[in-house]
Amino acid sequence: MYVSPIREPLIKGGKDYSQVTKDIMAPMAGKPSIYWYVGIAISGGALLFGAWATFVTVYYGIGSWGLNKTIGWAWDITNFVWWVGIGHAGTFISAILLLFRQKWRTSINRSAEAMTLIAIACAGFFPLIHMGRIVLGFFIFPYPNTRELWVNFNSPLLWDVFALTTYFLVSLIFWYVGLIPDIGTVRDKAKNKIRKAIYGFLSFGWTGSAKHWSRHETVSLILAGLAAPLVLSVHTIVSFDFATSVIPGWHTTIFPPYFVSGAVFSGFAMVLTLLIVTRKALNLEQYITKVHIESMTKIIILTGSIVGIAYITEFFMAWYSGVEYEQYAFMNRAFGPYAWAYWIMMTCNVITPQLFWFKKIRTNLVAVFIISIFVNIGMWFERFVIIVTSLHRDYLPSSWTMYTPTMAEVGLYVGTFGLFFTLFMVFIRVFPVIAIAEVKSVLKSSSDEKKHTHHE
């Protein structure tokens, strides 16, 4: 088998196949550590805060939020776009990197895809709760009804419904098809009868037959081929929510590519934030190595730079268009009452990620962790800036206002964090965090032991 002499090993520690199985399944065995309980207690608390905020919102209505007649969208849609964007890294890793045959994806795709699913669930919550009467949420789907009325297929908000539903369902089956062989492993290693029965049921009777593997590879490849344009379409459609309106600062053709790269940018930052902690907590440092971290920081440099160029292009186009409203909207963003939000965005998205050009910073885990959180913050502020600063000063100066979130809105946002981390920690205990079969399939060409023997 060909072994590249230049590339650094992806799996360290001279593993053999059964060692890989053992290492990756270790976090699922036995009682969880004290840190896990502490983590679940904190995220459970956040979830409770969110439950309270949901109750307040449903009971009193949207009036419990800080929205007003000028600013109709604020934290809710900001959070929605932010969470959807975070989800994009998982699909990017599992689909686009699969099509590009990037072997380093095998160690991180499973957890990133899980993150995608949870992030979409968090995202979908915001438009639903923004409807006010959440029990009537099914109105967004076209179904035969006594009013004989259908939904508006010309509306980007309706496209969002289809895009997100499809995105969630396709991500779910993509993730699960990849999980089937690994659930088979968990089933075969299970010692207790109930555990064996549950995982036996979930493994769908996986046998590992050559024919099944051949079909499994075809399915994975085609699902990747379908998910790649899907992930691009989802954030394109999210950007249409803004781009198809006639609000200065929103009505720009640059939005689709700018939103997609921003989404991948924030998604990779969240994957880094999560995995730097996870690899340490679960003793998976030999599988999620510094090479993986470095590769992700390189994608952050690329997408972050695209986002930076998009900000500058937007500013240039506002001036170049000669439209005074457009020009005012951008001057107001940078120097108006929300300038602090704009400059936080600029610093966190355009300046700090550029530090990744230095190898010393890319390989310093503490620095990567801090910068990844900066990116998460910056990307949240990007959406806040786009939404709130564009709305708060509209065409009529008499209706200019400011926006402050209420405790209910804060609670909803914190609550989705609770949901995100709770589900992620449950996932860690229930399924293998790393794709066992996929890691084994690259072990020979990419582990340090094999590379060593090859040179001797």
The residues binding another protein (CB under 8 A) are: 1, 16-18, 21, 142, 148-150, 152-154, 156, 158-159, 162-163, 165-166, 169-170, 173-174, 177, 180-181, 184-185, 187-189, 201-202, 204-219, 222-223, 226-227, 229-230, 233, 237, 240, 437-438, 440-441, 444
Quote the least distance from Cβ 88 to another protein, whole Å: 15
Rounded CA gap, 137 and 455, in Å?
A: 62
Residue with smaller CB distance to another protein, 157 or 309: 157
Q: ∠ CA 320-322-326 to the nearest 5 degrees?
A: 95
150 or 319: CB nearest another protein: 150
Q: Between residues 234 and 318, which has the closer beta carbon with respect to another protein?
A: 234
User: Least distance from C-beta 17 to another protein, angstroms?
Assistant: 4
> In b/e form, how buried is each residue of 121-135, taking b as 16+ CB within 10 angstroms?
bbbbbbbebbeeeee
Q: Are 256 and 106 spatial neighbours (Cβ–Cβ below 8 Å)?
A: no
Least distance to another protein, CB of residue 178, Å: 11
Q: Which C-beta is closer to another protein: that of 113 or that of 314? A: 113
Report d(CA 184, CA 432) in Å as an integer. Answer: 11
Kindly report the number of other CB atoms within 10 A of residue 189's CB atom.
15
Cβ closer to another protein: 41 or 149? Answer: 149
Amino acid at 149: L
Q: Is 240 helix (H, G, I), strand (E, B) or coil?
A: helix
Q: Which is nearer to another protein, 42 or 158 (CB)?
A: 158
Min dist CB 155 to another protein, Å, is 8
Shortest gap between Cβ of 203 and another protein (angstroms)? Answer: 9
Q: How far is the CB of 228 from another protein (least distance, A)?
A: 10
Q: Closest distance between another protein and the C-beta of residue 85, in Å?
A: 18
Q: Which is nearer to another protein, 211 or 360 (CB)?
A: 211
38's tokens: 């502490």
Question: Cα separations (Å) of 211 from 181, 214, 218, 414, 435?
Answer: 13, 5, 11, 47, 20
Query: What gap in Å lies between CA 250 and CA 332, rounded to an integer?
Result: 14
Contacts of 270 (CB under 8 A, 6+ apart): 86, 89, 115, 119, 372, 376
